[in-house]
Copies of this chain bind each other. A is one copy, B any other.
Amino acid sequence: MKEVLPVFNSAVSIDCVLFGFDGGELKILLIERNEEPFKDWWALPGNLIGEDESVEQSASRILHELTGLSDIYMEQYYTFGEVNRHPQGRVITVAYYAMLRLGGDKALKPLTSYAKKAQWINVKELPKLGFDHQHIFDKGLEKIKRRIKHLPIAFELLPEKFTLTQVQNVYELILGKKLDKRNFRKKILSFGVLKELNEKQKGVSFRAATLYKFDRRKYAKLFGKEISF
């Protein structure tokens, strides 16, 4: 027999701030809604959780439905629970940020029906968002600004092989400020989690930079000693 208590007292949803870096700009994936409320508005991708999935599984599922990809890096960062944040009733939403390597032109899979389309949009040029999604985004950006100083999340935005300049670009975009090239390289190499490859950047019309990759094994080994950028 399935017990009946405790009684459901809310709808719970997930909203995702999915970041992508296309080589020049920091973007997030927004959807244009096809349903009330906020029909035709832009919004963060999100959905109600299923009754048989954990909050985390739900976030994974939503990202999968949106992109067709699994194993997208994501972390929960806050739960928004104002009574009237959803015009149709009580919805508490658990927010995740997520990060994706762009460029391999990942065609987005057909979207779930509540969205007309999805589009990568520069975080500096966000349209007006439905619900309290601007606020959710702001908190998410704030969160990764903090976390990028301690955690190697920048590499989740970069292709497997990347140049140090690309890493620096990601840091500068997230932190919103310029960094000194020499100091940045010194610091990021000093952690010993980047592996220099015997390979150069291709297809550029200037001196090709050395490629590196993030060494997850070494990072795991050093994990106790926390990274501080």
**Any B CB within 8 A of the CB of A88:** yes
Q: Mark A1-19, 1 if CB is under 8 A from B, else 0.
A: 0111111111111000000
**Any B CB within 8 A of the CB of A161:** no
Tell which of B3, B5, B79, B91 touches A94, judged by Cβ atoms closer than 8 Å: B79
Tell which of B4, B10, B11, B91 touches A49, judged by Cβ atoms closer than 8 Å: B10
**Any B CB within 8 A of the CB of A105:** no
A89 and B3 contact, Cβ closer than 8 Å, known pairs A11-B9, A49-B9? yes
Chain B residues near A81 (CB-CB < 8 A): 12, 49, 54-56, 58, 94
Q: Closest residue to A79 on the B side, CB-wise?
A: B79
**Any B CB within 8 A of the CB of A51:** yes
**Any B CB within 8 A of the CB of A53:** yes
**Any B CB within 8 A of the CB of A118:** no
Size class of the A contact interface (CB-based, 8 Å)? 35 or more
Q: Mark A59-99, 1 if CB is under 8 A from B, else 0.
A: 00000000000000000101111110011111110100000
The docked-state distance in angstroms from the alpha carbon of A53 to that of B81 is 9
The docked-state distance in angstroms from the alpha carbon of A83 to that of B88 is 25
Interchain Cβ contacts under 8 Å between A and B, 5 examples: A6-B11, A10-B11, A10-B51, A12-B92, A49-B92
Beyond A54-B81, A79-B79, A79-B94, 4 extra complex contacts between A and B, CB < 8 Å: A6-B13, A51-B90, A52-B83, A55-B92
